[in-house]
Homo-oligomer: A and B are copies of this chain.
Amino acid sequence: MTNTQVTLVQIDNYGPWTVTPEPRREADLQTMQSRLYADISQFVGNRGGYVFFTRFDNMIAVTNGCSLEDHALMQESVGNRYPVTLSLGVATGRSPVQALSDATERLQDAGSAQDETRRECLEGRVIGDDHRSDDDVQIAHFDVIDATGNYTDELNAFDTFIRIEQGYAELMRHMRYSHESLSFFVGGDNVIVVCPDLGTAEYEEAISHVEEAVDVEMQVGVGRGPNAHEAGFAAKHALETCRADGTRVELEWETA
Chain A residues proximal to chain B, CB less than 8 Å? 8, 10, 14-15, 19, 23-35, 37-39, 41-46, 49-51, 53-58, 60, 73-74, 76-77, 80-83, 97, 100-101, 103-105, 108, 112-114, 148, 152-162, 164-166, 169, 172-173, 176, 182, 186-189, 192, 229, 232-233, 236-237, 240
A81 touches B80 (CB 8 A): no
Q: Of all chain B residues, which has the CB nearest A49?
A: B27
- For the complex formed, measure the closest distance between the CB of A138 and the CB atoms of chain B, giving whole angstroms: 15
B97 touches A156 (CB 8 A): yes
Number of copies: 4
Q: Of all chain B residues, which has the CB nearest A101?
A: B156
Could you jot down 26 A-B contacts, CB within 8 Å? A10-B157, A14-B188, A15-B148, A19-B236, A23-B240, A25-B76, A26-B192, A26-B233, A27-B49, A27-B229, A28-B81, A30-B41, A30-B187, A34-B34, A34-B35, A38-B38, A46-B74, A80-B83, A82-B82, A97-B156, A103-B157, A108-B153, A112-B148, A162-B173, A162-B176, A165-B172
